[in-house]
Amino acid sequence: MEINATLAVQWIEKTNEKIQENKEYLTSLDRPIGDGDHGLNMSRGFKEALEKVKAGNYPTPADVFKDVAMTLVSKVGGASGPLFGTAFLKMSVATAGQQVLNESAFVKGLEAALDGIKQRGKATTGEKTMVDVWEPVVEWLQDNGFEPEGLLAEAEGAMNATKNLTATKGRAAYFKEKSVGHIDAGAASSYYVFAALAEVLGGK
């Protein structure tokens, strides 16, 4: 399984599709323990990112990731903008110059993205943030390689597991124990990112 610029664009396309379909749902997750804008933020950002990369003609996936990163950074806003922006930016830097990414090169890119998110957000696992999806999924990929169905299941499980966590980072942290019982919004949108990857890789 190899990823070229076209597939990278397809990944963004699929991600956007899922985000738009679940815009209301994402916002509803952000309402009880946040400020109720996550769906709006993500839908605005990915729509613009897709428009940007669809219009371009990219030699490498890294170039796609860079434009996605810059668009997300300037269009999403809030906390998730710099987080997803940083993720794609680090992915771009880690995979720079390579026309086609093999499995190990792409996973290295995802590792860099995860590190970027953790650094930017000063968060670690267990804090009820998107890190709680990114870290287990990246680790699972390191151990198991690209297996679409396994990837999807891992991402979904990680997302659902945020429900029982108490938030200690982001807006949800102000709700302290009351944050328990709600899936984290950024974990859910991260799940869509990986679900889209699984579909693209699975050839759907």
Partner 1 sequence: MKKIINDPNEAVQDMLEGLVMAYPQKLQRLAETTVVMRKNVPVTGKVGLISGGGSGHEPAHAGYVGKGMLDAAVAGEVFTSPTPDQVLEAIKAVDSGNGVFLVIKNYTGDVMNFEMAAELAEAEGIQVEKVIVNDDVAVEDSSFTTGRRGIAGTVFVHKIAGAKAEEGAELSEVKRVAEKVVANVRSMGMALTPCIVPASGKPSFQLDENEMEIGIGIHGEPGIERKRIGTAMEIAHELTEKILKDREFSGDVAVMINGLGATPEMELYILNKNVQKILSEKGIHVYKTYVGEYMTSLEMAGCSLTLLQLDEELKSLLDAAADTIAFRQ
The verdict on 37 binding Mg ion (CB under 5 A) reads yes
Q: What is the SS3 assignment for 139-168?
A: HHHHHHCCCHHHHHHHHHHHHHHHHHCCCC
Pick from partner 1, ligand ADP, Mg ion, none: which does 173 bind, CB < 5 to 8 A by kind?
Answer: partner 1
| Contacts (Cβ under 8 Å, ≥6 apart) of 130 | 80, 83, 117, 121, 184, 186, 187, 189, 190
Helices H / strands E in the chain, number of each: 9, 0
Q: Which residues bind partner 1 (CB under 8 A)?
A: 35-37, 40-41, 70, 73-79, 81-83, 85-86, 120-121, 168-171, 173-175, 178
Instruction: Return d(Cα 64, Cα 56) in angstroms, integer.
Output: 8
Q: Tell me the per-residue interface mask from 67 to 106 with Mg ion, x by CB under 5 A, - otherwise.
A: -----------x----------------------------
- Are the C-beta atoms of residues 58 and 68 closer than 8 Å to each other? no
Closest approach of Cβ 152 to ligand ADP, in Å?
19
- 175 binding Mg ion? (CB under 5 A): no
CB 127 → ligand ADP: shortest distance, Å? 7
**Contact flag: residue 184 with Mg ion (CB under 5 A):** no
Q: Which does 168 bind (CB under 5 to 8 A by kind): partner 1, ligand ADP, Mg ion, none?
A: partner 1
CB-CB contact of 54 with 9 (8 Å): yes
> Which parts of this chain interact with ligand ADP (CB under 6 A)?
30, 34-35, 37-38, 41, 78-80, 83, 117, 121-123, 129-131, 169-171, 184-187
What angle is formed at CA 169 by the lines to CA 38 and CA 166, rounded to 5 degrees? 95
